[in-house]
Amino acid sequence: RPIGRWGRLHEEYLKKNKRYVFEPILISGKLCSYLADIDG
């Protein structure tokens, strides 16, 4: 599923402000599906 605008913005927010949330999702391999779910 494609990652839309809000998913990309949320990714940037997590990278800059919530690294402790971003890294486990990235390591687990679920980042793309997590970000795609944000856009609905």
pLDDT at 39: 86
Unique residue bearing structure tokens 């990309």: 8
| Residue partners of 31: CB distance under 8 A and separation at least 6 | 11, 22, 25
CA 11, 26, 37, 2 torsion-angle sign: positive
pLDDT at residue number 33: 95
pLDDT in tens, 1-40: 899 999 999 999 999 999 999 999 999 999 999 999 998 7
Alpha carbon distances (Å) from 2 to 15, 21, 24, 37: 19, 21, 21, 10
Rounded Cα–Cα distance for residues 20 and 1 (Å): 25
